[in-house]
Structure 1
């Protein structure tokens, strides 16, 4: 029935060649205007209790009182509506409420553009160019500020009791603080739940990290309902293992192998980097801890005199490097790296780099939160081999998974 009505409506339209459908003067915009005005008229009719044009034997107690113009912003540009009125002023429209200046959907479009890294000035120009809508930077800021309420709710939401794996990492942003632009770190925790689905558990902004900061982070996760973390994968974050073990003493801390390799090659001259990387591979692909230690000894014999700092960095972090070797290949691939969070950080860095710097901490939080929302919509499938990995975790951490 709805399809037939739409077909008839299109047939009745006198669409001449060259008729503009979209844009600031398009037919879609005109249809939106007429449709909204028709709904407003229906709302007034329900409020008054009689249809337009009906005459009663006695004067109506609250008759219609013409219309008043109202400009609202829509996804297709700005339109001017004729809003019907009643004499007593008791009519309260619901589709376009009093003092409402934007139809549903407009704010979502602004947030989508902001979430893609566009500045308020860029969004202003984009809307003006495509839709003929003049929007002030202040309005765009007010629209995006609505996200701050969502962020507060999101950061306080309760979490599941048990997380098989939690990845923690940080990305650096530049934020204006007074008259100076400072470098601050945004720390993110991404958990892998029992079903294998990734979820950003929290987001924190700090200038420096350390045991006290990480204790605050871990305590917050616990207060929000987390009772156990089986494995925490980190990028050698200072003070994190100690803080984690003070709150979750049974958690295994795994240093990201990719970060270990990356940090090692920074100490190597350019001409030797490829060979050093190849010679490091037997360490993290070893069948067990003993084989890995033997491979490290071989590496030290080959490169120890020329690059002693590399061997020293692996030995000093050894107990945080080798835990993943206790697990079968399916699980090793998942624990091998913090790529689950690194890939997300890479997307955010593209947005951040386009900004130059943020005017406030809140501005940084808004953009990264919108990136979180977009990422979680894509995180619908578990990692490859997750069911086997979960069974292996259940065996290794006997009694700790609610299966």
Structure 2
């Protein structure tokens, strides 16, 4: 698609109204977000028309007297029926949103299963996120959990699997989207920076070791306020998240294999135990093994300490039990 002319016109418009725009900038912290639906498929790009252009009774191959294709839409796109997987389109859309003053998007998302067009929507979502990152725009996910009901009704998953599937999907979101620096968060590095700064202002000059679960932005805040502190991720939370990806029949054996990792005397022996786990379980449970791989730097600090100290710092459960 050719968007150069459109972008050129936008640049001219911005140049002419820059002074006016600067005088009307909202100085508040409110975000302007757009609702984004990444489910459109076009024949020129994907070799077929997606359901959202046809709705089963519109034929986009039919050209109407006004020169427009016959599509299932109240409004006809200026660029015509597009494809949500087209990188040229995604770049154009993100730039136009940025020029229009939009801060980010809320993406309609249906999960990770290859059912209906859910898998296509997920792939297109990952594509648009890359362009959002380049443009400095934020994003959030609107998870359409009705998708689980549809999969159960169609026999794609059983009713007994529904809760486990929902849990796995939320974990996948945590690992792939929620930890993204462009994801809209209520708890951020800025928030934790204020918390730690307040602690320091109250007289706590140094914190030797800080243990937490995977709180967004906390590691950046620690580096800023207590740069000499050692950060230790909660191993118990990591184990729980891992086992949610493991079949019930294998949980006992998988748990036993993990013990050789987190109870290893040194990081070297722990890595060796992880390699063994990966070779044995990696093909059957790639998501479970991947959690350890992605989070190794977060949890490996404990191997610097003796077993007695390690028991105190490897989990946040001791603190959580006080507040429960």
TM-score by length of 2: 0.42
Q: Please, what TM-score do these two structures have when normalized by structure 1?
A: 0.34
More helix as a share of residues: 2
Instruction: State the structure with more CA Rg.
Output: 1
